[in-house]
């Protein structure tokens, strides 16, 4: 079982500056005590502008390692928020016996779609994948993963050495058994362990007793301390001061030849905030960024002006334009994409085969659907009952995968004019009573054909005539005003010249006399 999300705006090339913006320069520089803050910031921004650059010095690698820690922390938090909900034990323990054994120092998380509960200390293995881990020394990779994910309890950390997990994912669709076998035997490499007691951490108090079977000696660690046992060994770890390893209990024996990180910084609200991964820089700082050498170009040049997504082109080939002229615009916001996982809705315990999915689909790729229109149905419910899945948007189906994923793209054909719906008249009620029947409030966004109000007894359903924002609920007239009023985003020419080519809905090419410096 897995839950998949992609934090496309968090990465180590084009979006490196997003990590800087979200984590702050202080967070990144705190792991780089020997480097100047200005040098670190300049490197990150230059790497964003030159995303294919490969770090060539040790200090550049250290900056990227520090960014990786912060970036993974941000992405991991986003993943948890998007896939799992936190549950208050006091509320849910009346409904689930499982929660009687839950640790009080950790959040109880559960899947959005099913009542499956877990805590972070239940995670026994973390697999780190990606270029940062594939090209880092094992200890660096261990420190990055340990400080980024902040695992609780006893956790093994491994790396996907050659970043083949995406390929194995594709192979698993046709041969899941061999894909898993190859991944475990040829791709995974364990690089170490993390031992992290948690609970009500008190600074200066004993947190952990470590018994070394090789020497027969016991050492003590206090709250807030960290240590790396680089040579591994056989140890017994005993929690002190009422701390715990969560699902691994209060005492744990571990025998390994791999490094062990002992982390007594605490977790959750008791996390000390200190850094585990410190990347000491060499003398000399970071050299000047090696910008590619380019010779200035003189003469007739063509400048391509592109919209970020499909929009309206306002010029034609042959038109003369000036720098301040608007040559194109996006009248609407970016079209929203909706991903519908049919198996997630019907239940992963009863996964639909590609044949069953094809049989149950009522539309094909390229078809347009309305809000609330049934797009899939089959008899996979309890005792063979019919399950119907309805579209959450008025959109077009752009992709149907054999795995049961449907991608819908919002249809944008809004005129931007305010539309009024007289709820009071349609329901035959007093205008002042409209808020009691109306399902939304001012500022809410609704789709065309979405249900606005209803009187089930009289079988009266009132749907939205357009897509837009609820602008007004008038309790004097009983009318509701809906308008799609997003301001257009202009695309300027930024050059003086002649339009030489137009790509419908996407771009304009302008011929001009100029000098290209970079």
- Which of 33, 35, 31 has its CA nearest to residue 276? 31
Q: Is domain 419-483 annotated with CATH 2.40.50?
A: yes
Say whether pLDDT at 313 is over 90: yes
Say whether pLDDT at 480 is over 90: yes
Kindly report the length of the chain.
518
- In this prediction, residue 123 carries a pLDDT of 86
Least confident of 11-25, 184-198, 318-332, 377-391: 377-391
Cα–Cα distance measured from residue 439 to residue 452, given in angstroms and rounded to the nearest whole number: 6
Average pLDDT, integer, range 390-409 = 89
- In this prediction, residue 117 carries a pLDDT of 61
Query: Which of the two residues, 487 and 280, has the higher pLDDT score?
Result: 487
Please state, in angstroms and as integers, the Cα–Cα distance from residue 56 to each residue in 129, 289, 290, 323, 491, following that order.
Answer: 21, 10, 10, 39, 38
Cα–Cα distance measured from residue 354 to residue 405, given in angstroms and rounded to the nearest whole number: 11
Q: Is domain 297-331+488-516 annotated with CATH 2.40.50.100?
A: yes
The strand pair at 125-128 and 153-160 is best described as parallel
- In this prediction, residue 378 carries a pLDDT of 85
pTM exceeds 0.85 for this model: no
Q: What tens digit of pLDDT does each residue of 201-214 get?
A: 888 899 999 999 99
Say whether pLDDT at 91 is over 60: no
- In this prediction, residue 90 carries a pLDDT of 43
Domain 337-410: which CATH number of 2.40.128, 2.40.50, 2.60.120, 3.30.70: 2.40.50
- In this prediction, residue 348 carries a pLDDT of 63
The average confidence (pLDDT) of the chain is 86
Judge if 297-331+488-516 and 337-410 fold alike in CATH terms.
yes
Average pLDDT, integer, range 138-148 = 94
Cα Rg, the chain, nearest whole Å: 29
Say whether pLDDT at 98 is over 90: no
Q: What tens digit of pLDDT does each residue of 101-115 get?
A: 555 556 555 554 445
Q: Please list, in sequence order, all residues whose beta carbon lies within 8 angstroms of the beta carbon of residue 139, skipping any fewer than 6 positions away.
A: 191, 192, 228, 230, 259
Query: Which of the two residues, 7 and 88, has the higher pLDDT score?
Result: 7
435 half-sphere exposure, CB direction, 13 A CA radius:
8
Q: Where exactly are the structural domains of the chain? A: 1-87, 297-331+488-516, 337-410, 419-483
């Amino acid at each position: 079982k897995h839950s998949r999300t992609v934090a496309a705006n968090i990465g180590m090339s084009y979006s490196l500056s997003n990590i800087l913006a979200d984590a702050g320069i202080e967070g990144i520089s705190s792991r780089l005590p020997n480097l100047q803050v200005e040098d670190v910031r300049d490197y990150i921004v230059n790497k964003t502008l030159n995303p294919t650059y490969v770090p060539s010095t040790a200090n550049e690698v250290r900056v990227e390692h520090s960014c990786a820690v912060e970036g993974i922390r941000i992405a991991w938090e986003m993943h948890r928020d998007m896939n799992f909900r936190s549950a208050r034990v006091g509320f849910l323990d009346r409904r689930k016996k499982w929660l009687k054994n839950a640790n009080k120092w950790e959040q109880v998380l559960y899947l959005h779609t099913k009542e499956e509960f877990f805590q972070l200390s239940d995670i026994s293995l973390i697999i780190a994948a990606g270029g940062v881990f594939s090209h880092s020394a094992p200890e660096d990779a261990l420190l990055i993963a340990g400080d980024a994910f902040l695992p609780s309890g006893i956790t093994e950390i491994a790396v996907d050495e050659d970043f083949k997990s995406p390929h194995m994912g594709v192979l698993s669709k046709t041969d899941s058994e061999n894909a898993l076998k190859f991944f475990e035997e040829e791709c995974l490499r364990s690089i170490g362990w993390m031992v992290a007691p948690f609970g009500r951490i008190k600074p200066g108090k004993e947190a952990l007793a470590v018994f070394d079977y090789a020497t027969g000696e016991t050492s003590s660690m206090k709250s807030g301390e960290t240590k790396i046992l680089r040579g591994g060994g056989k140890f017994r770890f005993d929690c002190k001061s009422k701390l715990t390893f969560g699902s691994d209990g209060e005492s744990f024996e571990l025998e390994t030849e791999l490094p062990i990180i002992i982390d007594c910084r605490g977790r959750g609200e008791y996390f000390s905030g200190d850094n585990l991964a410190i990347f000491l820089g060499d003398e000399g700082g970071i050299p000047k960024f090696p910008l590619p050498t380019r010779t200035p170009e003189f003469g007739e040049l063509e400048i391509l002006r592109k919209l970020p997504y499909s929009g309206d082109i306002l010029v034609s080939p042959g038109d003369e334009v000036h720098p301040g002229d608007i040559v194109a615009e996006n009248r609407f916001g970016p079209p929203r994409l909706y991903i519908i996982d049919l198996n997630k809705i019907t239940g992963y315990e009863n996964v639909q085969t590609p044949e069953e999915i094809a049989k149950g689909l009522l539309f094909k790729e390229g078809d347009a659907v309305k809000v609330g229109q049934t797009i899939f149905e089959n008899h996979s419910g309890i005792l063979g009952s019919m399950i119907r899945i309805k579209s959450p948007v008025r959109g077009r189906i752009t992709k149907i995968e054999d795995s049961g994923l449907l991608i819908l793209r919002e249809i944008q054909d809004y005129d931007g004019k305010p539309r009024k719906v007289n709820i009071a008249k349609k329901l035959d009620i007093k205008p002042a009573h409209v808020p009691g029947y109306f399902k939304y409030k001012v500022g809410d966004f609704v789709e065309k054909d979405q249900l606005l109000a209803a009187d089930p007894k009289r079988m009266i359903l009132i749907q939205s005539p357009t897509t837009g924002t609820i602008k007004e609920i008038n309790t004097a007239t009983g009318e509701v005003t809906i308008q799609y009023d997003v301001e257009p985003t202009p695309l300027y020419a930024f050059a003086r010249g002649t339009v030489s080519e137009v790509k419908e809905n996407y771009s304009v090419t302008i011929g001009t006399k100029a000098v290209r410096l970079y």
